[in-house]
Structure 1
Amino acid sequence: MGGLRILVASSEVAGLAKTGGLADVAASLPRALAGRGHQVAVVMPYYAAVRRTGTPVEKTGIALPVPLGGRTLACRLLRTRLPNSDVPVYLVEHPPFFERDDGPGRGLYQQGMPGGYKADYPDNAERFTFFSRAVLEAVPFLGFTPDVIHANDWQTGLVPVFLNEAYRTKPAYKHVRSLFTIHNIAYQGTFGPEVMKLTGLPGWLLNPGQLEFHGYLNFLKAGIVFADAVNTVSPTYAREITTPDFGCGLDGLLRGVSGKLSGIVNGCDYADWDPANDRHIAAKYTADTVTAGKAACKADLQKRFNLPQKPDVPVLGMVARLVSQKGVDLVLSAAPGFLDLGCQLVFLGDGDPEYHDELNDFKARHPDKVGVFLGFNEGLAHAVEAGSDLFLMPSRYEPCGLNQLYSLRYGTAPVVRATGGLADTVVNATEEHLKAGTATGFSFGEFSARALYETVKWALSLYRTRPADFAQVVRTAMAQDWGWDRSAAEYEALYRKVSRVG
């Protein structure tokens, strides 16, 4: 079978501009696809964040005319490459829309508000309508005609709509197909009906069967309806979002298009996340040297968080956005019980101010048992993964999750709620799975502090009284391969099905 030609459209790309897991996928998947022999390019906005990385950016001499709300705006198309690859990244330059992340509290999509909260930019609909249209205007200048345009999340939800309704009759676009990936269905890009005028699309498309959602224009729904195929970032999440509990109002639509909906687990970038060659941790280690390696990393972690360096005290680690989705409230409710079980706890993250306050108060009450770092620090995130004995990830929902994949590779048994990608990647340490040698972590179903506490209690029982069984869980976890080549092979098959190539 011949190679495919793929254009990945994303509002963020790791190594250039990032707020979350979408950026990791938009960087790692194209690299893996290129490694499999496919022709791949990426297109994203040219943010101030890209300039701050110091990445070399070259001018292409290409100016794109982008229709927007009855007028035509000009933008330049710049070019760079994905870090550590030859995959080209095309940057849509329009400073009024995309170079505002240049001051305190100003991000890619949001700005800081009084009280520590964040609010979306009021013109996000205009910004990402413009970007979606620019993606399609860029197609003739890529040096190849894509078999598939792979759009991601609501920020590119209009790409499949524009492709079908405004570009399909043009020769360069006749055979181009689209895949739309939902990374988190809770974020939908819902705007007032007046935004239809910005799109330039026919007003009759704003109907319940296509773009309209309870009187609003919904960018995520647009991508789902108009794309040739839809996927999300784990098989379990693909099933969950067709239910009222997880579908965020779109479950009926997704049940209706279930024939084109699938799930592919994200990969883990082992070039960055592997204790055998991790420059951020105190001691490199493999499955053969995990006992000594993790002991050194644990001592280093305790030192970093100003905790007593006690090798026999289990350390529970958590690295997460401090929001309700991540189950922070469960951890805070169960945390006094964890201390009673003789544990130390370390937290790294940033999010809602009330969680900041609660964590700081908890640390103040137990300074010799609790460590807190509010914000994000890449090196410290690696240290938590390497130095903890258990990693806490009790999410309300989790489309895929990456930290549990990191934890598996680092031999830090993840404690997860069995939802979304967590259910697909962690094998619970039941007696049956322990006997079969397949257990890789610990999981529970009910979203409650009691269920989390009992699961940690069971994990600590193995850790303390059945060390051989606990060591087997660690070794089995480290042997798992959730690398990007596996994910890329599944995406390749999906692209071929969508484009009918090969």
Structure 2
Amino acid sequence: MNLLFVASECAPFVKTGGLADVIGAVSKSLATTGVNVRVLIPAYPAVAALVATGKTVMTFDDLFGGRARIVAAQAEGLDMLLLDAPHLYDRAGNIYLGPDGKDWHDNDLRFAALSFAAAQIGLNGLGGWVPDVINAHDWQAGLVPAYLRQDGRPAPPVVMTIHNISFQGVFDGTRLSALGLNADQFTQQGVEYYGKISFLKAGIALSQKITTVSPSYAAELLTPDFGMGLDGLLRERQLDLHGILNGIDLDVWDPETDASIVATYSATKLAGKTKNRAELEARFGLTKSDGPLFCVISRLTSQKGLDMLLDCLPDLLAEGGRLALLGTGEPYLERAFIDASNRYSGTVGTIIGYDEGLSHLMQAGSDAILIPSRFEPCGLTQLYGLRYGTLPVVARTGGLADTVIDANEAALLADCATGIQFAPINGLMFGHAISRTCALFAKPKIWTAMMRRAMRHPVGWDLSAAAYLDVYKSALAP
């Protein structure tokens, strides 16, 4: 099978969040099953060196305002297709946001171009390589099936993957012509969404199959509380909706070989974790303690529930815990955690920003990772935590519910607990989960058994890649 992935980012080349990790990892995993995967992303400045060494395989005289080309290159075990359109992508800084912190004014054109280029690959192929299936990821690739349908020629089926439905790519309805879409596309069955254009809605409505990143999130999306205005459409398409759990790249995230940590370790030889804790304490200015060291590696947003952590922080510290936080996001949360690190110097450490190597050290050196998300399609940090024996403390929602086994009495008696869950999702129950974590940490035998169990829990892509392959085959079925 020839498979074209279409996404706005892909690790390790361009990354702003978990989407990039998933695109890079699942592509490699599918390749091991015999699928010929090529990944199409925009040619941002971060991939300039790759563009310079690649081969031009398609050209556009005018792609939404300028000349463009697709460059094929191989790197990091991936077959990459880079959409080189300097007028759209040659910009410093965040790939989605301008210097003012707001969306680039022409994001509709930037990602319509990505979808249009993918459609041209689907219709015309590349030097004899023609995709059997196109997998479009998130709103940035949502117009792929619209451009295919508009062309009218036989085209490969499209599978639309929703990584986070809260980002829908909604633009003014007057932009239809600028996006190269015909008036007959502006319907409830097409790209129209309450008088506007929604890229994600178009992808859901027009694709042959739809996937999302965990079974629980797939069920949640059918409800008004989680579907964010698209639940009705998803209920209509629910027979075509499949929840497939994310995995992680086991080569990149491996405590036995990780070059970003100061001491490697394994489920049978845990001593290295102590050395990583000492380094983490030094990096965050934390004093040593007999209590658990909690970490947060996250976007600082209300979705992630980190306002609740601020409320729970005094009790966390009173129970002997400490906190190391790495993240960036909403300014009021950034200021609040900086203030907390000043107020609780030695027990709370905050670094605003993102550092890939430091995130590995935090997973290796912490005892538990806090993920109190109000909703979470899948989440990857809890999977990294499991892999590194850093027990996840998670809200019972989406993929968090699907990947962490709560240390309740039944699970402890059955020797299957791998973390701590809480529900309902509010500050009171989150605080209770933190207290439970501290109580479990005070019982070294139980805690160590949970660590070893977590590290052996399957978090790779094997099962999920097979599930994706089944969806692709069903999309091809007559």
TM above 0.5, yes or no, is yes
- Per the TM alignment, residue 175 of structure 1 is displaced from its structure 2 partner at its CA by 5.2
Aligned to 1:79: 72
- Per the TM alignment, residue 367 of structure 1 is displaced from its structure 2 partner at its CA by 0.6
Measured in 1, the distance between the counterparts of 2:18 and 2:127 equals 26
Percent identity of paired positions between Structure 1 and Structure 2: 39
Could you tell me which amino acid in structure 2 is paired with residue 36 of structure 1? T
Structure 1 position 305 matched with structure 2 position 296: no
Aligned to 1:468: 445
Could you tell me which amino acid in structure 1 is paired with residue 276 of structure 2? C
Pick from 215, 218, 241 the counterpart of residue 235 of structure 1: 215
Which runs of structure 2 are paired with 1:22-41 in the superposition (5 Å)?
Answer: 22-41=19-38
Could you tell me which amino acid in structure 1 is paired with residue 27 of structure 2? P
What do residues 374-409 of structure 1 show as CA deviations (whole Å, max 9, x unaligned)? Answer: 111112111111111111000011111000000001
Aligned to 2:146: 161
Structure 2's unaligned 5+ residue stretches are none
Measured in 2, the distance between the counterparts of 1:112 and 1:61 equals 33
Measured in 2, the distance between the counterparts of 1:281 and 1:212 equals 49
Measured in 2, the distance between the counterparts of 1:256 and 1:435 equals 42
Pick from 400, 414, 417 the counterpart of residue 436 of structure 1: 414
Structure 1 position 210 matched with structure 2 position 190: yes
CA contact (8 A) 2:294 2:369 kept: yes
Measured in 2, the distance between the counterparts of 1:207 and 1:178 equals 19
- SS of the residue corresponding to residue 226 of structure 2 reads coil
Pick from 478, 484, 499 the counterpart of residue 461 of structure 2: 484
CA contact (8 A) 1:265 1:400 kept: yes
CA contact (8 A) 2:55 2:73 kept: no
- Per the TM alignment, residue 417 of structure 1 is displaced from its structure 2 partner at its CA by 0.1
* Aligned residues between the structures: 476
What do residues 243-284 of structure 1 show as CA deviations (whole Å, max 9, x unaligned)? Answer: 111111111111111011111111111111111111111211
Pick from 242, 247, 262 the counterpart of residue 227 of structure 2: 247
Measured in 2, the distance between the counterparts of 1:185 and 1:93 equals 28
- SS of the residue corresponding to residue 297 of structure 1 reads helix
Say what the alpha-carbon RMSD is for the aligned residues.
1.6
- Per the TM alignment, residue 198 of structure 1 is displaced from its structure 2 partner at its CA by 2.1
Measured in 1, the distance between the counterparts of 2:267 and 2:319 equals 27
CA contact (8 A) 1:57 1:79 kept: no
Structure 1's unaligned 5+ residue stretches are none
Structure 1 position 324 matched with structure 2 position 324: no
Measured in 2, the distance between the counterparts of 1:287 and 1:25 equals 25
Could you tell me which amino acid in structure 1 is paired with residue 97 of structure 2? Q
Pick from 121, 127, 136 the counterpart of residue 110 of structure 2: 127
Q: Structure 1 residues 222 and 185, CA, compared in 2 at 3 Å: closer, same or farther?
A: same
- SS of the residue corresponding to residue 3 of structure 2 reads strand
- SS of the residue corresponding to residue 158 of structure 2 reads strand
CA contact (8 A) 2:291 2:441 kept: no
CA contact (8 A) 1:322 1:352 kept: yes
Aligned to 2:355: 377
- SS of the residue corresponding to residue 25 of structure 1 reads helix
Measured in 2, the distance between the counterparts of 1:88 and 1:66 equals 25
466-475 or 215-224: bigger deviation: 466-475
Pick from 353, 357, 374 the counterpart of residue 335 of structure 2: 357
Could you tell me which amino acid in structure 2 is paired with residue 445 of structure 1? A
Aligned to 1:261: 241
- Per the TM alignment, residue 467 of structure 1 is displaced from its structure 2 partner at its CA by 2.2
CA contact (8 A) 1:440 1:476 kept: yes
Which runs of structure 2 are paired with 1:391-402 in the superposition (5 Å)?
Answer: 391-402=369-380
Aligned to 1:223: 203
175-184 or 416-425: bigger deviation: 175-184
CA contact (8 A) 1:320 1:326 kept: yes
- SS of the residue corresponding to residue 347 of structure 1 reads strand
Aligned to 1:149: 134
- SS of the residue corresponding to residue 187 of structure 1 reads coil
Q: Structure 1 residues 337 and 142, CA, compared in 2 at 3 Å: closer, same or farther?
A: farther
Could you tell me which amino acid in structure 2 is paired with residue 97 of structure 1? L
Could you tell me which amino acid in structure 2 is paired with residue 147 of structure 1? D
What do residues 185-232 of structure 1 show as CA deviations (whole Å, max 9, x unaligned)? Answer: 000000011111123333132122332111101100000000000011
Q: Structure 1 residues 55 and 319, CA, compared in 2 at 3 Å: closer, same or farther?
A: farther
Aligned to 2:405: 427
- Per the TM alignment, residue 142 of structure 1 is displaced from its structure 2 partner at its CA by 5.1
- Per the TM alignment, residue 65 of structure 1 is displaced from its structure 2 partner at its CA by 4.5
- Per the TM alignment, residue 360 of structure 1 is displaced from its structure 2 partner at its CA by 1.0
- SS of the residue corresponding to residue 454 of structure 1 reads helix
CA contact (8 A) 1:301 1:383 kept: yes
CA contact (8 A) 1:413 1:474 kept: yes
Measured in 2, the distance between the counterparts of 1:131 and 1:461 equals 51
Could you tell me which amino acid in structure 2 is paired with residue 393 of structure 1? I
Output the TM-score relative to the length of structure 2.
0.96
Measured in 1, the distance between the counterparts of 2:58 and 2:157 equals 24
Could you tell me which amino acid in structure 2 is paired with residue 286 of structure 1? S
Aligned to 1:293: 272
Structure 1 position 333 matched with structure 2 position 332: no
Could you tell me which amino acid in structure 1 is paired with residue 199 of structure 2? F
Aligned to 1:7: 4
Output the TM-score relative to the length of structure 1.
0.92
Measured in 2, the distance between the counterparts of 1:165 and 1:220 equals 17
Aligned to 1:99: 90
Pick from 136, 146, 155 the counterpart of residue 119 of structure 2: 136
Pick from 263, 270, 292 the counterpart of residue 283 of structure 1: 263
CA contact (8 A) 1:415 1:443 kept: yes
Measured in 2, the distance between the counterparts of 1:90 and 1:66 equals 19
- Per the TM alignment, residue 55 of structure 1 is displaced from its structure 2 partner at its CA by 7.4
Aligned to 2:96: 109
- SS of the residue corresponding to residue 399 of structure 1 reads coil
Measured in 1, the distance between the counterparts of 2:83 and 2:127 equals 13
- SS of the residue corresponding to residue 111 of structure 1 reads coil
Q: Structure 1 residues 7 and 131, CA, compared in 2 at 3 Å: closer, same or farther?
A: same
